[in-house]
């Protein structure tokens, strides 16, 4: 059966899933809207394409598909599109998934072009939270891209296409030569070594974050093969160079996610998530608002529009030998482009699968009289105020002064602050709202009709969601109905702080001044006991040797943090090693933790193997790690006596003196021929050049 021949609309799969309509087409599957008639809920059914379910690798593909389906279904996280069920229809496997109303990130990126740092980090954080659950379950997404990141109607991330992409690649890479994924977001190791790694998912997330901030991906090319190899051979440009004025920590964070070398990136999504949260905690509100100007029409072409090589809508499956195949389910409303066209994603409907969110799902939320509804609602609220004013005037005219007092000065002129249901009040004492759970008190306020407004603040003593303070502060206090309002401060709980990840790196800014860095990070209970500080050869004085909790930990700002600082290298005295054996000297120098280098020299007074001298005098004040040069004796210098017999006394004398000897000429029978007949010591003997006092050895030559 051809792909076109499959038209399951109206059919019921497995006696349960009634197909309503086709909503999206991807490189690996077609997605249909369906109704789960057993549970009466809307679902999305993804049915594999025919070519993936046929051929010699069918059994292998199906087996791996089932394994990946189980893996994907095992991931429970609100940021992942849930997999409910799987089955088979006409020889093709299908998945039953959560139906998500909303848009994919690609649509939103085409709409906004650039995002603020704050919004980029939020979407990136939620994406990493979903991937962290997957990585913990041993599942690598492998195809993270904007088309697979859905934004539901509440704006939160839900990642789709888990498992199927990886299973498809395992069955097709060796037989079709196709490279799975979208080239603009593929990690270098995926392209070069075909390695699907957790770090690869992190890389793809980094590229998406880069694109959200700048409005374009870091590498662009009309040829997907060229684009892929740019990822292999080129580093992603520094974000603080491309975006002048962006917070350097944001640039460092995204640059770390996009490192070309796999081992240089965070190990997985959880590690990346910790770095991102630490960055968010340190980010100022002004830095979070940073937004790049939207790129012009020409620049926008590089933001992720996809050629026929990676378009999920491409009608041709053989346009190039190295086709980039997308597993995304893109909306089907536009006609499929020709193989030489670019998919214009900005024209797609605003839904995660297709169509805009239904208007019936759009609701207006009001938190009571203190909230700020829209104009229409505000106009409705003006009407009773006007009516109340008219009634007040009529009452004044009708009943005179008594009624006037009640409405303008008496109980009719104010609201009384109601008592929260979870607060006990003792008679004759001031009863404050502090500690009441605001979510419950909000209902009480709505019934009382009192105007109120809320702000949030951190509190070390009041639990999250409970009231810290109010104005007026006590139950029964009066709030004027003429412009008055009850103001409430709700606790956000104890403020969190993150120990700088580089606190133990003495070369970093935080590492050089760890106590100041912890204070700047927001910690208020840092313990530093100077008596616990220790000497270190490797850590400079004032830098941290250890910190508890460990760097990167996010804890309550008032949690106890213990820091041990370095006192630097310990002071030591130079040991007396002259005349000692080399082994003995080495032991003493090691105990003093001094760095020693050795040289050897002849010595007439120091035995071989013993220390002649050192560059530091015994008792000199040094520190661990200081350098000391030591000279070790090779013993006295010796020479093998040459044979100078038969030579003239002058020549023989010159030869011996050149070696360093003194020469004495002896002529007991007279010196007629000036020829050496005898020498002492004899030729061939080993003779010291100098005696113990350094005096040259005397050689006696006898001449006739």
Give the C-alpha separation, 556 to 579, whole Å: 61
Give the C-alpha separation, 136 to 270, whole Å: 8
**pLDDT at residue 553, as a whole number:** 94
**pLDDT at residue 565, as a whole number:** 95
Fold of 638-703: Trypsin Inhibitor V; Chain A (3.30.10)
| Residue 36 CB neighbours (<10 A) | 17
User: Would you state the torsion angle of the CA atoms of residues 428, 430, 435, 437, taken in this order, to the nearest 10 degrees?
Assistant: 80
3-class SS of residue 376:
helix
3-class SS of residue 654:
helix
Residue linked to tokens 């299973």: 167
Q: Is 143 a catalytic residue?
A: yes
Q: Would the CATH topology of 375-491 be identical to that of 496-565?
A: yes
CATH ID of 571-633, from 2.60.15.10, 3.40.50.300, 3.30.70.260, 3.30.10.20: 3.30.10.20
* Model confidence pTM above 0.85: no
Helices of type H across 178-268: 188-193, 198-214, 224-233, 239-242, 248-257
Give the C-alpha separation, 109 to 151, whole Å: 11
pLDDT (tens digit per residue) in 308-366 = 333 332 222 222 222 222 333 333 333 332 223 222 222 233 334 433 333 233 222 22
**pLDDT at residue 419, as a whole number:** 87
Which residue among 14, 36, 85, 143 is the active-site one? 143
- CB neighbour list of residue 450: distance below 8 Å, 6 or more residues apart: 369, 370, 415, 417, 418, 479, 486
pLDDT (tens digit per residue) in 38-77 = 999 999 998 877 766 665 556 666 665 666 676 667 788 8
Reported CATH class of domain 12-98: alpha beta
Give the C-alpha separation, 245 to 138, whole Å: 39
Fold of 375-491: Trypsin Inhibitor V; Chain A (3.30.10)
pLDDT (tens digit per residue) in 80-90 = 988 888 888 88
User: Would you state the torsion angle of the CA atoms of residues 121, 127, 133, 135, taken in this order, to the nearest 10 degrees?
Assistant: -100
Domains of the chain by residue range: 12-98, 102-296, 375-491, 496-565, 571-633, 638-703
pLDDT (tens digit per residue) in 190-236 = 887 777 889 999 999 999 999 999 999 999 887 776 787 788 889 99
Give the C-alpha separation, 135 to 205, whole Å: 14
Q: Provide Rg for the chain, Cα atoms.
A: 42
Nearest residue to 262 (alpha-carbon basis) of 238, 231, 217: 231
Mean pLDDT of the chain: 79
pLDDT category of residue 130 using cuts at 50, 70 and 90: very high
* Backbone dihedral angles phi then psi of residue 143, each to the nearest 5 degrees: -140, 50
Per 3-state DSSP, the chain is made up of helix, strand and coil in percentages (nearest 5) of 30, 25, 45
- DSSP assignment of 66-129 equals HHHHHHHHT---TTBPPEEEEEEETTEEEEEEE---EEEHHHHHHHHSS-BHHHHHHHHHHHHH
pLDDT (tens digit per residue) in 423-475 = 888 777 889 999 999 998 887 887 677 899 999 999 999 999 999 999 999 98
CATH ID of 496-565, from 3.30.10.20, 3.40.1260.10, 1.10.240.10, 3.90.1150.10: 3.30.10.20
- The verdict on domain 102-296 having CATH code 1.10.510.10 is yes
| Residue 675 CB neighbours (<10 A) | 14
């Amino acid at each position: 059966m051809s792909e076109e021949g499959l038209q399951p609309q109206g059919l019921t799969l497995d006696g349960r899933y009634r197909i309503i309509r086709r909503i999206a087409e991807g490189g690996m599957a077609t997605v249909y809207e369906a109704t789960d008639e057993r549970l009466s809920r809307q679902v999305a059914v993804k049915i594999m394409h025919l070519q993936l379910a046929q051929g010699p690798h069918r059994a292998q593909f199906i087996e791996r598909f089932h394994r990946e389906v189980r893996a994907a279904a095992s991931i429970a996280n609100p940021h992942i599109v849930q997999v409910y069920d799987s089955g088979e229809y006409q020889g093709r496997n299908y998945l039953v998934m959560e139906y998500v109303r909303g848009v994919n990130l690609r649509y939103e990126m085409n709409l906004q072009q650039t995002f603020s740092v704050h919004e980029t980090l939020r979407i990136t954080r939620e994406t990493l939270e979903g991937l962290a659950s997957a990585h913990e379950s041993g599942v690598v997404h492998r195809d993270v891209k904007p088309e697979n990141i859905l934004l539901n109607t509440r704006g939160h991330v839900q990642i789709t296409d888990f498992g199927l992409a990886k299973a498809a690649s395992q069955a097709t890479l060796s037989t079709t030569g196709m490279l799975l994924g979208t080239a603009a977001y593929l990690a270098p190791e995926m392209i070069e070594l075909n390695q699907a790694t957790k770090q690869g998912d992190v890389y793809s997330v980094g590229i998406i974050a880069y694109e959200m901030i700048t409005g374009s991906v870091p590498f662009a090319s009309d040829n997907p093969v060229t684009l892929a190899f740019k990822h292999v051979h080129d580093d992603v440009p520094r974000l603080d160079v491309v975006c002048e004025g962006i917070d350097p920590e944001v640039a460092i964070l995204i640059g770390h996610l996009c490192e070309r070398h796999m081992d240089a990136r965070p190990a997985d999504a959880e590690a990346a998530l910790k770095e991102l949260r630490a960055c968010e905690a340190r980010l100022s509100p002004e830095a979070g608002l940073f937004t790049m100007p939207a790129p012009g029409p020409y620049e926008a072409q590089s933001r992720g529009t996809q050629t026929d090589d990676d378009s999920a809508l491409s009608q041709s499956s053989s346009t190039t030998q190295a086709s980039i195949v997308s597993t995304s389910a893109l909306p089907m409303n536009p006609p499929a482009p020709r193989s030489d066209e670019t998919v214009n994603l900005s024209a797609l409907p605003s839904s995660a699968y297709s169509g805009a969110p239904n208007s019936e799902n759009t609701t207006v939320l009001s938190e009571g009289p203190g909230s700020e509804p829209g104009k229409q609602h505000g106009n409705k609220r003006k009407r009773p105020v006007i009516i109340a004013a008219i009634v007040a005037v009529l009452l004044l005219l009708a009943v005179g002064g008594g009624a006037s007092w009640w409405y303008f000065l008496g109980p009719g002129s104010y609201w009384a602050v109601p008592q929260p249901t979870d607060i006990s009040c003792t008679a004759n004492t001031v009863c404050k709202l502090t500690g009441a759970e605001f979510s419950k008190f909000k209902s009480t306020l709505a019934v009382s009709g009192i105007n109120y407004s809320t702000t949030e603040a951190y509190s070390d003593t009041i639990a999250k969601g409970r009231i810290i303070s109010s104005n007026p502060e006590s139950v029964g206090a009066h709030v004027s109905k003429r412009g008055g309002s009850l103001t409430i401060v709700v606790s956000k709980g104890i403020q969190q702080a993150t120990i700088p990840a580089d606190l133990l790196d003495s070369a970093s800014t935080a590492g050089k001044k760890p106590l100041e860095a912890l204070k700047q990070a927001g910690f208020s209970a840092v313990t530093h006991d100077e008596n616990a500080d220790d000497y270190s050869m490797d850590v400079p004085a004032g830098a941290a040797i250890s910190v508890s909790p460990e760097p990167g930990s996010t804890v309550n700002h008032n949690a106890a943090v213990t820091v041990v600082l370095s006192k630097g290298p310990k002071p030591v005295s130079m040991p007396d090693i002259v005349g000692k054996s080399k082994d003995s000297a080495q032991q003493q120098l090691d105990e003093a933790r001094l760095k020693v280098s050795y040289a050897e020299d002849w010595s007439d007074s120091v035995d071989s193997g013993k220390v002649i001298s050192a560059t530091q005098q015994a008792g000199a004040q040094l520190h661990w790690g200081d350098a000391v040069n030591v000279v070790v004796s090779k013993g006295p210098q010796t020479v093998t006596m040459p044979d100078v017999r038969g030579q003239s006394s002058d020549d023989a004398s010159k030869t011996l003196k050149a070696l360093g000897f003194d020469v004495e000429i002896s002529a007991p029978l007279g010196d007629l021929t000036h020829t050496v007949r005898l020498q002492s010591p004899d030729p061939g003997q080993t003779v010291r050049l100098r005696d113990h006092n350094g005096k040259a050895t005397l050689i006696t030559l006898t001449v006739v």
